[in-house]
Amino acid sequence: MKKPVLIISYYWPPAGGPGVQRWLKFAKYLPDHGYEVTVVIPENPDYPVLDQSLKKEIPKNVSIIKARITEPSRMAGKLSRKRTKNLQRGILKKKASFLERALVWTRGNLFIPDARVGWKQHVLRAVELFLSENPECTVITTGPPHSVHLIGLELKHLVPSIKWLADFRDPWTTIGYHKDLKLGDRAQKKHEKLEQKVLNTADLLIVTSPHTGKEFQSKTSKPLQLITNGYDIKPNSNLKQPDGKFVLAHIGTLLSDRDPQLLWESLQELCKEIKGFANDLELQLAGNVSEDILDSIEKYNLSNRLANKGYLSHDQSIELMFKAQVLLLIEIDSEETKAILPGKIFEYFASRRPIIALGPKGADIELLITDTHSGEFYNHQQKMALKKQIIHLYDLYKKGVNDGNSNDLIERYQRSHLTQILAKTIEYVWE
């Protein structure tokens, strides 16, 4: 008889972006390990981005429970739909309008821990029958939004016989954007109190990065398991240099604070210093990009080298990765972002194209890239080293030998392998 697992996730197809991928894939592979999977999702969500292509990846042997949700973003959207969507995506101009600042303050101080906190009561009602029939099931909550963990907290109180695993795809109170929410002292303390309560009550914590693991181990004695994100695409089998221009591609959201001026400045200089570089260069951005980033690109005279693709489906994004000469991974230069392991990095690995990553010194992404021999990492002060690497890759491109990486070190990040770790983790909490 298969063992029941109840996964509570705000993000589910047709939601786009990396947040949906993690538990979509775990739900796909958990049945292979003897688990019967039920997923609780919102019935009428207001997702910031949509990717209809992901619907075809929903496993047929997974049961779905839908619970209604009241989204404050719908009401805010009546004031300004574009601004509200940008706020949901994390795109806020450095020179924000009064309305944008007001929405941010409201989000930070009146909706704690986040704007989906009202979903809890609907979920509790929706899962009553399931839990009455499966009082000794495994419940997994995944955040952000971290309000989902408050559902797990309540369920653990109501049904003590369950085992609750709280999955943190990102940190909670130390995540970089918290300082942008204009939190008052009362709101900050409430966040910290709720976080501590979740950390102390869950039977086990799952984190996606070593930094977050160390942070939580300093806050609680509860057991903790590191399970990174991964990839579920067929790795690129064509390692030969792609045709076309010298394409540097970034896939994913580019926030204003993530503006890599070091990179733009380096490219501007190389356009002047190396004959033919300007004509060969193409900078591709796929995803939601802030206007501040576009202004910065224009400032460095790179707009005529830019192909701004906008948001692409998952399949289209993979195709773009496979055809790029170089893949760009850019993280904010701050202490808070050292723990961030963007979901796209694992599909970058599977694309087998060379990676250039920029981030804070000591970031977890540096260790990951080094361990897989998949590219080079630079902090935001290493301009000369960054330029040298771009020149090296450009020289390979001109010779027609900018080939991909053939090593098998990336296989540990296959979703099927990571699900094996998850299955053993579930077994552990029941021992």
Task: Give residue for tokens 């009146």.
Answer: 110
Residues 6+ apart with CB under 8 A from 30: 5, 37, 419, 422, 423
Q: What is the pLDDT of residue 339?
A: 87
Q: What's the predicted TM-score (pTM) here?
A: 0.89
CATH T-level fold of 246-410: Rossmann fold (3.40.50)
Q: Where in the chain is the domain with CATH 3.40.50.2000?
A: 3-70+113-230+415-430, 246-410
The least confident of 75-89, 90-104, 151-165, 406-420 is 75-89
User: 79-127, pLDDT tens digit by residue?
Assistant: 444 544 444 444 455 566 666 676 776 667 777 899 899 999 999 999 9
Q: What is the pLDDT of residue 18?
A: 80
Q: What is the pLDDT of residue 78?
A: 46
CATH T-level fold of 3-70+113-230+415-430: Rossmann fold (3.40.50)
Strands (E), 258-300: 281-286
d(CA 325, CA 396): 10
Calculate Rg over the CA atoms of the chain.
22
Q: What is the pLDDT of residue 387?
A: 98
> Would strands 281-286 and 306-310 be described as parallel, antiparallel, or unpaired?
parallel
Percentage with pLDDT > 70 across the chain: 90
User: 348-381, pLDDT tens digit by residue?
Assistant: 999 999 999 999 999 999 999 999 999 999 999 9
Q: What is the pLDDT of residue 422?
A: 98
